[in-house]
Chains A and B, each alone.
Chain A
Amino acid sequence: MAQITTDICIIGAGPVGLFAVFEAGLLKMRCHLIDVLQQVGGQLSEIYPQKPIYDIPGFPVINAQQLVDGLMEQIEPFKPGFSLGERVTGLEKLDDGSYIVSTNEDTVVRSKVVVIAGGLGCFEPRKPPIDNLETYEGKGVTYMVKDPGLFRDKKVVIAGGGDSALDWTIYLSELAEQVTLVHRGDTFRGAPDSAEKVAHLAGQGKINLLLQSNVTAIQGNGRLQKVQVLDKNKLIQTVEADYLVPLFGLTPRLGPIADWGLQIDKSAISVNTLDYSTNIEGIYAIGDINTYPGKLKLILCGFHEAALMAQSAFKYVYPEQKLSFKYTTVYGVNTF
């Protein structure tokens, strides 16, 4: 269990969360970031790392991952802490006005200010439309392979056609008793090497490859036992399964933040444009997760919001001090 004390706890390590570290750092405020994804960068790294972005001032064009890498370099002097691959589960306000943010990995961050920079929310696995799917979560249905050893000598059905579905099919074919890959397409358009390997394994009879098919139902008796697969000719077959691993990528959901008493408007947090504060004192929301009249979901708007947030947050971190605004062109970037 990690216990961290900092000035600002930033929920979300996307571009706006990262830049908030810089703006806070200029005012001598330390930050700790939490993100459910294993890497920093949010949508940019998770959804479109190789896409060009054209509206970052000063960069006529910049690749999304390059922007994230640049932000990491820019905030490095301020030594932010990171808890990656962790989902924020709880928020508690203490008597002294500070906050405790906790995660599913038992990390506890105590801070004077909380900044929600969660983009469109917390990335969660995209679930296929199958009745009872959630009933069997943790009882055979899992959306990620954390411990491959779990699948040793088991019957595993993997659903999906992306790189991770191909990669895990190849990996688990050596470990599991039986691997079935169910894919709705007739080809794999992802990594050609992996697709070739999967076809080869299927040709050798080492895996079952069910193309142009979907998992449509699951059955079990407390634990998963069978998976029903429908093909394009409407033929149904039943596959015995100890595990079903649907791998259809991630999609953002607002998650537990929705239950914190924040004013929510259409899945976004309402803020005061004076400083991007929420209706709860000491909690700010910046970037795509906030809403206000005229809101534009642009990275550059999030950067602006981060700057104003930091100026306002200063009063919670240093209540005894007066803030004087300083230009980096005059004073440089003074690190801790």
Chain B
Amino acid sequence: MIRIRVEDRDGSIRVIEIPDTVDLNLMETLKIYEYKLRATCGGMALCADCHCQVIDGGNNLPEPQDAELITLENHPGASFNSRLACQIRVAEEIDGLSIRLMGETE
């Protein structure tokens, strides 16, 4: 199991447990767990609807690639710990990650 602590926009906190066989990115996974993410671009790192802040446990995250960095740098609400959930693969490395959802709801 991969455990991720998710703080929603209303401040509510939940730890979701994801089977480690899942083959999805974090944006898709959050949608499965019924978090409201609009995800306009569908996972191409273009819209920032899945913008989240990494609160803790981000040491093992893969470095953001150019597409993600471009989008975040041009996003007015982004901060130093911002990531796009669609660019994070759900895998053992992110077990223990703590994030705060920032992007658009549906």
Which residues of chain A are within 8 angstroms of B76 by Cβ–Cβ distance? 126-129, 159-160, 214, 246, 248
Min distance, Cβ A15 to any Cβ of chain B, angstroms:
14
Q: How far is the CA of A100 from the CA of B66 in the complex (A)?
A: 46
- How long is the Cα–Cα vector from A179 to B106 in the complex, in angstroms? 37
Q: Judge if A162 is at the interface, Cβ distance under 8 Å.
A: yes
Contact of A189 among B41, B66, B75, B104 (CB under 8 A): B66
Verify B47–A189 contact, CB threshold 8 A: no
User: Contact string, A167-202, partner B, CB cutoff 8 A, digits 1/0?
Assistant: 000000000000000011100011000000000000
Smallest CB–CB gap between B103 and chain A, Å?
10
Which bracket fits the contact residues of B? Answer: 10 to 19
B61 within 8 A of A: no
- Selected from A43, A51, A190, A248, the residue in CB contact (under 8 A) with B70 is A190
- A128 near B77 with CB under 8 A, answer yes
Contact across chains for B75 and A126 when beta carbons are under 8 A apart: yes
Q: Is B74 an interface residue (CB 8 A)?
A: yes
CB of A272, distance to nearest CB on chain B (Å) = 21
Q: How far is the CA of A120 from the CA of B80 in the complex (A)?
A: 29
The reply on B78 being an interface residue by CB < 8 A is: yes
B60 touches A (CB below 8 Å)? no
Q: What does DSSP make chain A's interface, helix, strand, loop or mixed?
A: loop
CB interface residues, B 51-95, toward A, < 8 Å: 66, 69-70, 73-78, 80
Residues of A within 8 A of B104 (CB): 251
Chain A residue numbers with a CB within 8 Å of B40 are: 43, 47, 120, 251-252
Do most interface residues of chain B lie in helix, strand or loop, or is the interface mixed?
loop
Q: Are A47 and B38 in contact (CB under 8 A)?
A: no
Q: How large is the interface on A (under 10, 10 to 19, 20 to 34, 35 or more residues)?
A: 20 to 34
Return A48 CB to nearest CB of chain B, in Å. Answer: 6
Contact of A162 among B47, B74, B77 (CB under 8 A): B74
Interface string of B23-66 (1 = CB under 8 A from A): 00000000000000010110010110000000000000000001
Further contacts, 9 of them, CB under 8 A, given A120-B40, A165-B74, A189-B69: A129-B77, A160-B76, A162-B70, A184-B78, A185-B73, A189-B70, A189-B73, A246-B76, A249-B74
* Closest A-B pairs by Cβ, 8 of them: A128-B76, A185-B73, A162-B74, A248-B76, A189-B70, A161-B73, A266-B106, A47-B46
Q: List 18 A-B contacts (CB under 8 A).
A: A43-B40, A47-B40, A48-B46, A126-B75, A129-B76, A159-B76, A161-B73, A162-B70, A165-B74, A184-B73, A184-B78, A185-B73, A189-B69, A190-B70, A246-B76, A248-B74, A248-B75, A251-B47
A positions within 8 Å CB-CB of B? 43, 47-48, 51, 120, 126-129, 159-162, 165, 183-185, 189-190, 214, 232, 246, 248-249, 251-252, 266-267
Chain B residues near A (Cβ < 8 Å): 38, 40-41, 44, 46-47, 66, 69-70, 73-78, 80, 104, 106
